[in-house]
Chains A and B, each alone.
Chain A
Amino acid sequence: MSAACAAPPAGAAGDVVISIRELTKRYGELVAVDGISFTVRRGEVFGILGPNGAGKTTTLEMVEGLSRPDGGTVVVDGLPVWPDPKAVKARIGVQLQATALFDYLRLREIIHLFGSCYGVRRTPGEIDALLERVGLLEKRDSFADQLSGGQAQRLSIALALVNDPVVTFLDEPTTGLDPRARRALWDVIRAINAAGTTVVLTTHYMEEAERLCARVAVMDHGHVMALDTPRALVHALGADAHVTFTLSAPVPLEALCELDGVSSCSAHEGEGYAMIAGSAQRAVVSLLDLAAARGLDVANLDVQGANLEDVFLRMTGRTLAEEEERDELTDEPQKPRRRSFFGGGGR
């Protein structure tokens, strides 16, 4: 992995690989995507962050050539996607939300088949290498419905790489996974990017966007609310850190608010104090000075940087946590393999 990281991405890194202008999609009265514009740079991991229904998936579908826009243009790797998306489809990899795959086919057979869809014939060695990249080599002879949720997502990502795409699109790749499976998938995505593939992913997990993405577009109600690096987005909020602590004896709130670097403060019955600090370092140093001067003990000191959650909250008035609660945290195998005559399943 680290060797791959050292290699610069193929092509001119940093130039534009996707250019979206005034892209619009309506479903009857509903404007799902409302004239959005942005560009994705070659070699980056680009995140589209937003709650369900924000227009993330619809945007991806128009870029992937699955859904015809009602207005605007999309250019991928120098080729306009519409009116004929075929050439673009050949150059991109796609992982869709909740794709189940063919029953009764083994993983290596599915990969071979999808290679065929792109006009590439993968040798058994190449298929194994691809499965290895997503950590599924030992499952090469398993059937798709024997995989756990996390494994199924990794297979789906392997299929998004089968044609050596310029850009690969991952639509909520970690939704529904438990935290461990999610982190494992992040490693896979980082490795893919390190090998030179531009990655565009949608997510409603703050942490995912912060950890993975070079740049993030925050979407809500079909609009791009903000677009920048996660750090810049957070910095733009002006609030650097939340500092919480308890003291061995109460102090007047004014004394805390006047501390160097503190922009606001509050006292919480039985839970101690909270300060929002423009500079966490100066705030903590002056707090400790104050405590020493008054002979108090500071306990339970916790300093937390502001995050994209705060950005999202500021922009939309909602928290993304409300969205996360709706996901099941499961990584159980989906269903036992059916082997009886009457067990169901189509023919």
Chain B
Amino acid sequence: MRAFLDFLKAFTLMFLRNRQALFWTFFFPVLLMGLLGIVFGHGFGGALNLAIVKLDDGMVAGVMVQAFKNADGITVSQPATEAEALRQLRGGNVQGVLVLPAGLQRGFAEGDATVRLPFHYDNSDLATAGQIMGVTQQIVESVGNGIAQVQPKLGIKPLGMKSQSLNYLDFLVPGIVALSIMQTAIFGIAGTIVTYKEKGVLRRLRATPLPMRSFMGSNVTMRVVTALIQTALVLAVGILLFHVTVSGSLPLVALVAIVGAGCFVSLGFVIAAVSKNQEVAQALMNVVQTPMMFLSGIFFPMNNAPAWIQPVVKVLPLTYLASALRAVIIDNASLWAVRWDLAILLAATGVFVVVAWRFFRWE
């Protein structure tokens, strides 16, 4: 325990004396956030994303979904539940949610009056809201006409909701937190361990009676604590300088950050395990981190990305860390709501630990 604390202190000292590390760890994420905020602060514009919640299995619902899929200028996703769809709406991933309620088929066939489908939109961005509502209304009515041949049998019931006036920075901040956690954990572990391996430090330490778990444990602890400090810093700067809205519970944010850091620490160990020297480690770190940086929904939502890339998005651990952090930070999601993201991160951690254990060489 004594040695663990001494090494923790030593790692902290080495980190604090390394200006390059300090720059990348603390200054760079804030800088990145600032630059992206300035450039993209007003959102992307363009693509309209609609979530359709299909709760009825009848013909009408089927035709409706197909009609939206065929429509130009609008991208359709189909979340399983209305709650999930609303979460996406609040998170800014979609601009509208159309609900095809249970009993739609019957209501359409039996009723005389127009059936009005609930349509949720974000009234904090009225321009986009008007755009997507118009398109949705048009398609819904034309589907109704096509089936019934009678004057409007189908319409929409607009349900404005107030998101916390989300802008791009609200979306970006949790992504930057996730990205920083990943980089700190992977660089911190793979970078140091491979350097020590190459320089013979590990060999020298193994010649002492110190259990290697004390050494590794203090290194890991140091990186996880650094990741938490980064999280706090990025959130603080986001709130103070860029006026982003953070509505989630901070203990839950910390928990998600720790789970994420654990996952990337273990990925760092995988890289350290298979790398003989710094050059290999650097190359592997780039190979692993670059796709995650751009395909995990850090800087922009991946819903708009082409379908063929979605499987890649789905295997990147950072996708789940970003998703969980975003849900908790801007959407005040509960632990239960992000359970699958966390479960996937933990499962990935398990796989990484096994691989690292299997392939690790001390020299």
Contact = CB atoms under 8 A, between A and B. Distances in A.
B300 interface: no
Contact of A112 (B6, B15, B199): B6
A104 B17 contact: yes
Given A105-B13, A114-B208, A117-B3, A347 B199 contact: no
B311 interface: no
Contacts of A159: 204
A101 interface: yes
B208 A347 contact: no
Interface stretch (B69-77, B78-86, B107-115, B189-197): B189-197
Contact of A345 (B3, B18, B208): B18
Interface stretch (A24-32, A92-100, A219-227, A311-319): A92-100
B24 interface: yes
Contacts of A340: 19-20
Contacts of A86: 209
With a 10 A CB-CB cut-off, give which of B2, B7, B14 has the most chain A CB atoms: B14
Interface string B203-238: 111111110000000000000000000000000000
A121 interface: yes
A136 to B, nearest CB: 17
Nearest to B188: A347
Interface residues of A, number: 38
Contacts of B192: 346-347
A346 B195 contact: yes
Interface residues of B, number: 34
A89 interface: yes
A304 to B, nearest CB: 39
Contacts of A66: 203, 206-207
A343 B208 CA distance: 32
Contact of B187 (A89, A94, A347): A347
Contacts of B17: 104
B23 A99 contact: no
Contacts of A98: 200
B207 A347 contact: no
A105 B20 contact: no
A239 to B, nearest CB: 41
Which 10 interchain pairs have the tightest Cβ spacing? A347-B21, A100-B199, A346-B191, A117-B208, A117-B210, A116-B6, A104-B14, A94-B207, A104-B17, A346-B195
Given A94-B208, A114-B208, A117-B209, 17 more contacts: A64-B207, A86-B209, A89-B207, A99-B201, A99-B203, A99-B204, A103-B14, A103-B18, A109-B13, A117-B205, A117-B210, A118-B210, A121-B2, A341-B20, A342-B20, A345-B20, A347-B187
